[in-house]
Amino acid sequence: MLGTAEVTILGRVVADPEVTNTSGGQVMKLRVAVNERRKNGEHASFYNVDVWNEKNQAALSKVKKGEPLLIFASMSTEQYEGKSGDKITATRLRMEKFRFVGGSKESSEEDPY
């Protein structure tokens, strides 16, 4: 049986989006921070999110550092060999849809992008 891993992230964009061209098409890269409260204070986790969908790229083209987003993404893990020969495991998040939160953009009850 084939499955899928899905994640939901509520966090803030930590850098302006970057768009690059690949052999598979154009991809927008977002870096998002999620803050958690722990017994010893706050902890931030950072996630790299790939945006392949053109509609999402257009909607996110004006997103700036610090803006909050609710992101729905699929997750995959891949392993590859680094320059020094070490095995590296990377988790990839691929945005499926998102919603602006915090009132900084058009925040409506309509379906997310």
Question: Taking the mean position of all CA atoms in its chain, how far away is CA 87?
Answer: 24
pLDDT tens sequence across 1-42: 777 899 999 999 999 999 999 888 899 999 999 998 889 888
Q: How much is the pLDDT for 4?
A: 82
pLDDT of residue 109: 45
The string of pLDDT tens digits covering residues 45-96 is: 999 999 999 999 998 988 889 999 999 999 999 898 989 999 999 888 999 9
Q: What share of the chain is helix, strand, coil (3-state, %, to 5)?
A: 5, 60, 35
**pTM of the model as a whole:** 0.78
Quote the pLDDT of residue 112. 54
The pLDDT value given to residue 108: 43
